[in-house]
Amino acid sequence: MYNDLYSAQEIAQLALLSCNVREFPVNVTQLCEHYGIAAESGTPHGELVGISFIYKGLPVIFVNEQEPTPRRRFISAHEMGHVMLGHVGAWQYSDDSRGMPHKSQEQEAMIYAAELLMPECVLIALGITDVPEIMRTCGVNYSTAFRTAKSIERRIRRGDPPTNVEKALIRQFLNREEQQTDEQKRRSTRIPA
Ligand SMILES: [Zn+2]
């Protein structure tokens, strides 16, 4: 699934595009289903928060269900990232308190997870750029939303135009917004009997 031509951020954008995701909060379980990744949760021994591995030839992600929901969502997206970016193969990826040996792959999985849950180009297009709004819209915790808000700020300052993939993703989300607006209009003009 991994392609050296694309960055972790673009791979997340392509996943949102091909799964036709148009609304927040992004449903990570559905995305995993689409790619044939089994998403499991439970209460492990020790301090394990998340892990991704191959079982009988199939990718599996496991998340500690005792983590608060916003954090669990990010961990799921992060573990999905390890699978989608081709990190999971001969060895297991366990994200626990002891830290990780492959720092660059950890960073890639973080970038993937952030973009999957909070695609920056879409948030900018919708005007969702401050921390509380990002938290509410994307179902993430404060520190996660804070990092994205800062990154959005930097991007706006640089004035980076959207890539072609980003343009397509923005259209996908905006169409949804327009549909909702039309629906709202219909509802508000409906005359009660
Ligand atoms: Zn990891």
Ligand 1 centroid, distance to 49 Cα (angstroms):
10
For residue 2, the model assigns a pLDDT of 47
Ligand 1 centroid, distance to 77 Cα (angstroms):
10
In this structure, of 54-68, 120-134, 179-193, the range with the lowest mean pLDDT score is 179-193
Q: What are phi and psi of 42, to 5 degrees?
A: 180, -175
- Sequence-distant (≥ 6) Cβ neighbours of residue 90 within 8 angstroms: none
For residue 11, the model assigns a pLDDT of 97
User: What distance in Å separates the CA atoms of residue 71 and residue 105, rounded to the nearest whole number?
Assistant: 19
Query: For residue 100, is pLDDT > 60?
Result: no
Q: What is the DSSP letter of 39?
A: E
Ligand 1 centroid, distance to 108 Cα (angstroms):
9
For residue 1, the model assigns a pLDDT of 43
Query: For residue 140, is pLDDT > 60?
Result: yes
Residue 184 binned pLDDT confidence (cut-offs 50, 70, 90): low
Ligand 1 centroid, distance to 170 Cα (angstroms):
28
The three-state secondary structure class of 64 is strand
Residue 55 binned pLDDT confidence (cut-offs 50, 70, 90): confident
- One-letter amino acid of 133: E
Ligand 1 centroid, distance to 163 Cα (angstroms):
27
Ligand 1 centroid, distance to 109 Cα (angstroms):
6
In this structure, of 1-10, 97-106, 156-165, the range with the lowest mean pLDDT score is 97-106
For the chain, list the domains and their CATH numbers: 8-176 (1.10.10.2910)
State the first-to-last Cα distance of the chain, in angstroms, to the nearest integer: 55
